[in-house]
């Protein structure tokens, strides 16, 4: 038909590949895409950088302990020589084991230090306390306590003699008084000396009864007997 324009479809050769436009990728985007850390990873890294590192246990005492995992997932140190059981108390350990002889020596020293009577070891409260603290404790009599105190005295006396053997000069002082409750007279001899480290030391050398008359001759004889011993 004249005066009218007709549109014809465009034919595409199926044998030739279809060229589709491709967008030019941004090199900066491709370099970072897929490799950026997440927010959680960044927070974990920041927390780890401020955490204190666990120090190595280099002190020799840690050889006597082991780590034990608790029910709440915490770790505690436990002695390899003694394990705490439910309801048990920790006894004093000497060389990894309980020693009754050592305990009796400590009790004798306590009797000396606090001027207790020998029968204090027979008191029920005293034994209940030691039995609770040390299950291996065995009750002793006042006669045994007296013998233990005499043994401690002999050991300390020999130790004092060994110290005095290395002393060149010593100063002696005496003190006399009357016992108000016993109506008896006593004298104590005290030695004073300076050791090799220039420290002043003093020890009671003798404690004897000195009945009247307490004149110079009697005091001199008591001091002489003390030095002779």
39-52 confidence digits (pLDDT tens)? 566 666 555 555 56
Label residue 29 exposed, middle or buried (CB < 10 Å: 0-12, 13-18, 19+). Answer: exposed
Residue 181 is predicted with a pLDDT of: 76
Residue 29 predicted with pLDDT over 70: no
- Counting other chains too, the contacts that 208-216 makes at CB distance below 8 Å and 24 or more residues apart are 209/184, 209/185, 210/176, 210/185, 210/186, 211/184, 211/185, 212/185, 214/176, 214/185, 214/187
pLDDT tens for residues 144-199? 999 999 999 999 999 999 998 888 899 999 998 887 777 888 999 999 999 888 99
Query: Is residue 226 over pLDDT 80?
Result: yes
Could you read off the pLDDT of 108-146 as tens digits, one per residue?
999 999 989 999 999 999 999 888 888 888 999 999 999
Position with higher pLDDT, 205 vs 18: 205
Q: Which residue has the higher pLDDT, 186 or 28?
A: 186
Whether 135 and 89 have beta carbons less than 8 Å apart is answered as: yes
Domain ranges of the chain: 100-157, 167-228
- pTM of the predicted structure, to 2 decimals: 0.52
pLDDT average, residue stretch 14-36:
50
Q: Which strand (E) or helix (H) includes residue 172? A: strand 171-178
pLDDT at 125: 93
Task: Report the alpha-carbon distance of residue 223 to residue 213 in Å, rounded.
Answer: 16
What are the pLDDT digits (tens) for 86-109? 334 445 555 557 788 888 999 999
Which CATH number is correct for 167-228, 1.10.8, 1.25.40, 2.60.120, 3.10.450? 3.10.450
Other beta carbons less than 10 A from residue 55's beta carbon: 6
pLDDT tens for 31-41 read: 444 555 565 66
């Amino acid at each position: 038909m004249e005066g009218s324009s007709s549109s014809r479809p465009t034919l595409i050769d199926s044998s030739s590949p279809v060229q589709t436009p491709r967008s030019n990728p941004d090199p900066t985007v491709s370099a970072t895409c897929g490799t950026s850390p997440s927010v959680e990873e960044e927070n974990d890294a920041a927390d780890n950088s401020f955490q204190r590192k666990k120090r190595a246990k280099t002190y020799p005492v840690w050889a006597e302990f082991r780590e034990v995992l608790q029910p709440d997932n915490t770790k505690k140190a436990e002695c390899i020589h003694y394990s705490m059981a439910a309801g048990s108390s920790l006894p004093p350990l000497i060389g990894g084991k309980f020693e009754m002889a050592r305990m009796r020596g400590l009790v004798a020293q306590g009797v000396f230090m606090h001027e207790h009577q020998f029968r204090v070891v027979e008191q029920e409260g005293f034994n209940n306390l030691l039995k609770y603290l040390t299950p291996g404790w065995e009750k002793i009599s006042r006669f045994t306590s007296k013998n233990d105190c005499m043994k401690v005295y002999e050991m300390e006396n020999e130790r004092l003699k060994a110290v005095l053997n290395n002393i060149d000069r010593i100063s002696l002082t005496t003190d006399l008084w009357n016992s108000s409750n016993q109506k008896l007279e006593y004298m104590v001899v005290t030695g004073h000396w300076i050791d090799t480290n220039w420290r002043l030391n003093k020890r009671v050398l003798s404690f004897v009864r000195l009945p009247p008359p307490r004149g110079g001759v009697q005091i001199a004889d008591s001091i002489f007997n003390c030095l002779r011993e």
